[in-house]
């Protein structure tokens, strides 16, 4: 091919604390192609993008954008060399209208006169064809999650880049929006822009990409021509091991006589009424597209957000759900999805983080028995294979997987009757995932009931004993264990009333295709 390289990255390595995020990775993108970068969470995709866009300073390696070398870790320099990035978690000023956000994103010499910015924004957005041109006056904070994500792309495009980085652009998107995004990405390609498309949804990737590069655990696994490769082949490179070995065996027979959590007509800010029961020894999954009340349900059960109506019994006792202190005391433990902010005390050590919920066990008359604490944590570090240089290592320096193991370790010391795990393997490297499944399964085997929210249908199908499908805040379907597989879960999600658009056009949408990824 005679296309010039618009992005070249050679021999990039980067280490965070004890974690090797990238090891000698090379990557390039030509003008007029869509080059997909795939890999699981924690495989180094985001770090690589961070290096390319100048946010992360690599330990070794060089980056060239449009043939010119990026000389320091400067997002400004990367931008001026012609690189634009659509961020995963949004970079808009929420209080400012869409038109202003777009105006600020444009390079000064391409901005229209200030008083013309509304008309300009409308025409620019119409050109991008992302269905965003309708409300240029709306504050960016009023956009839906999906619109926000598309708007990120629009803000990147307005700089007229040579190379466009899309970081998981479809996470919050419904099928129609994915289509719009892909239309835009293809239009960019045809104009000669190099598009780097980061995603973990293979069907989408194969739909638009020209080449696909796979990362696993921060290491380069190969680059493949999208026309010649297949999902199963890519999955093999991504995971590095067959799928069926990835989950511990399911529960033998949950104890029908022993419900640990009985939820009856529970209703909160963004969900309900919901009713369900979790038995002792059972792992119940919660599926559903994002934004259908799952986080609110979890927060409510954990006592973080008071319910409006309904009743919850834990191991026979009614919960008032007004404080986390009460919920924890009654035996309900939440493992939040946002570990850094909501589960761990980053500056404190592994030991302190592990035992915070079981201090009574390690104290006599309010005095800590540090030796028994230390030996208990030591045992758990070995049992859960937590990789840490010492028990006092601040947990912020551990990898995502090891951080999650630390928060799971709490449940081994406290032995709660209900564990609410929100996205337990998000941001967790492949190797640690199985350890975490194993650890959580060990809890259920010793009598706890688990409620697991996951956006990954493969995980739900492989790890759970049955799955509740949530849509618009209610449980629309329960999939029993013998019917459990990825396709079934995804079908249920897509069929739910929350995704009516998708239900109208089941072909060509992202969700049902994503399911087939699991068959590989």
133 binds other proteins (CB under 8 A): no
Q: Does 366 bind other proteins (CB under 8 A)?
A: yes
Is 90 a binding residue for other proteins by CB under 8 A? The answer is no
State the binding string over 336-355 for other proteins (x if CB under 8 A, else -).
x----xxxxxxxxx--x---
No. of helices (H) and no. of strands (E), the chain: 18, 22
Give the nearest distance from C-beta 314 to other proteins in angstroms. 13
Residue among 15, 74, 88, 171 that touches other proteins (CB under 8 A): 15
With helix as H, strand as E and coil as C, how does 306-343 read?
Answer: CCCEEEEEECCEEECCCCHHHHHHHCEEEECCCHHHHH
List the alpha helices (DSSP H) in 139-256.
Answer: 145-157, 175-190, 202-208, 231-239
Q: How far is the CB of 329 from other proteins (least distance, A)?
A: 7
Phi, psi of 217 (to 5 degrees): 50, 40
**Cβ proximity to other proteins, 119 vs 317, nearer residue:** 317
Residue of 357, 383, 426, 455 interacting with other proteins (CB under 8 A) = 357
**Would you state the structure tokens that stand for residue 225, as one six-digit string?**
């021509």
Contact between 356 and other proteins by CB under 8 A: the answer reads yes
> Do residues 350 and 381 touch, judged by C-beta distance below 8 A?
yes
Q: Between 279 and 318, how does the x/- string for binding to other proteins read (CB under 8 A)?
A: -----------------------x-x--------------
- Contact positions with other proteins (CB under 8 A) in 401-460: 410
Beta pairing, strands 219-225 & 367-368 = unpaired
* 372 binds other proteins, rule: CB under 8 A: no
What are the angstrom distances between the C-alpha of 292 and each of 269, 331, 516? 11, 26, 23
Q: Which of 60, 110, 375, 446 binds other proteins (CB under 8 A)?
A: 60
Distance CA(217)–CA(101), nearest Å, equals: 36
Q: Which two tokens stand for residue 424?
A: 């337990």
Tokens representing 348 are 């404190």
Which tokens sit at 383? 């049992």
Strand partners, 60: 13
Nearer to other proteins, 16 or 135 (CB): 16
97 strand-pairing partners: 139
Among positions 21-50, residues that touch other proteins (CB under 8 A) are: 24
User: How many residues of this chain interact with other proteins, rule: CB under 8 A?
Assistant: 40
- Which of 437, 435, 434 is CA-nearest to residue 450? 437
> Residue 307 or 462: which CB sits closer to other proteins?
307
Minimum CB separation of residue 406 from other proteins in Å reads 11
User: Which among 151-159, 325-333, 432-440, 442-450 is the span making contact with other proteins, rule CB under 8 A?
Assistant: 325-333
Instruction: Give least dist CB 340 to other proteins, A.
Output: 9
Is residue 22 classed as helix, strand or coil in its secondary structure? strand
Distance CA 197, CA 212 (A): 9
Q: Which stretch binds other proteins (CB under 8 A): 280-288, 323-331, 437-445, 495-503?
A: 323-331
Residues that bind other proteins (CB under 8 A): 13, 15, 17, 24, 59-60, 302, 304, 324-325, 327-329, 334, 336, 341-349, 352, 356-357, 359-360, 363, 366-368, 370, 389-390, 392-394, 410
């Amino acid at each position: 091919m005679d296309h010039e390289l618009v992005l070249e990255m050679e021999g990039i390595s980067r280490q965070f604390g004890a974690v090797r995020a990238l090891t000698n990775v090379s990557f390039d993108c030509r003008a007029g192609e869509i080059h997909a970068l795939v890999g699981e969470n924690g495989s180094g995709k985001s770090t690589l993008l961070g290096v390319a866009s100048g946010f992360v300073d690599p330990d070794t390696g060089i980056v060239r954008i449009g043939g010119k070398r990026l000389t320091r870790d400067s997002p400004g320099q990367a931008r001026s060399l012609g690189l634009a990035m659509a961020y995963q978690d949004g970079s808009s000023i929420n209080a400012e209208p869409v038109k202003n956000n777009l105006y600020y994103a444009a390079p000064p010499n391409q901005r229209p006169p200030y008083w013309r910015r509304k008309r300009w924004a409308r025409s620019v957005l119409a050109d991008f064809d992302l269905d965003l041109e309708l409300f240029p006056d709306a504050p960016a904070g009023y956009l839906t999650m999906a619109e926000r994500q598309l708007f990120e792309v629009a803000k990147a495009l307005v700089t007229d880049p040579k190379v466009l980085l899309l970081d998981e652009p479809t996470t919050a998107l419904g099928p129609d929006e994915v289509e719009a995004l892909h239309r835009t990405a293809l239009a960019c390609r045809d104009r000669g822009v190099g598009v780097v498309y980061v995603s973990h949804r293979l069907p989408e990737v194969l739909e638009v990409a020209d080449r696909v590069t796979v990362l696993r655990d921060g290491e380069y696994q190969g680059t493949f021509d999208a026309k010649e490769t297949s999902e199963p082949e890519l999955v093999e490179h991504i995971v590095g091991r067959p799928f069926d070995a990835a989950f511990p065996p399911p529960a033998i027979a949950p104890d029908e006589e022993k419900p640990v959590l009985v939820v009856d007509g529970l209703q909160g800010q963004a969900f309900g009424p919901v009713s369900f029961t979790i038995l002792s020894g059972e792992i119940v999954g919660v599926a559903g597209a994002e934004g259908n009340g799952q986080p609110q349900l979890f927060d409510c059960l954990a006592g973080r957000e008071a319910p409006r109506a309904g009743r919850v019994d834990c191991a026979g006792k009614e919960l008032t759900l007004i404080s986390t202190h009460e919920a924890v005391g009654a035996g309900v433990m939440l493992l939040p999805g946002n570990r850094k902010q909501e589960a761990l005390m980053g500056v404190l050590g592994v030991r302190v983080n592990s035992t915070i919920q079981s201090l009574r066990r390690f104290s006599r008359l309010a005095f800590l028995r540090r030796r028994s604490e230390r030996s208990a944590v030591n045992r758990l570090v070995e049992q859960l294979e937590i990789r840490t240089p010492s028990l006092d290592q601040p947990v912020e320096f551990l990898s995502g997987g090891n951080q999650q193991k630390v928060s799971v370790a709490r449940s081994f010391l406290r032995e709660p009757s209900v564990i609410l795990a929100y996205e337990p393997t998000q941001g967790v490297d492949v190797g640690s995932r199985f350890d975490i499944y194993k650890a959580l399964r060990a809890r259920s085997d010793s009598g706890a009931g688990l409620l697991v929210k996951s956006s990954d249908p493969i995980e739900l199908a492989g790890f759970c004993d049955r799955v509740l499908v949530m849509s618009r805040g209610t449980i629309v379907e329960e999939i029993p264990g013998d019917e459990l597989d990825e396709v079934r879960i995804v079908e249920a999600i897509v069929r739910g009333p929350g995704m009516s658009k998708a239900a109208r056009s089941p072909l060509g949408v992202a969700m049902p295709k994503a399911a087939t990824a699991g068959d590989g």
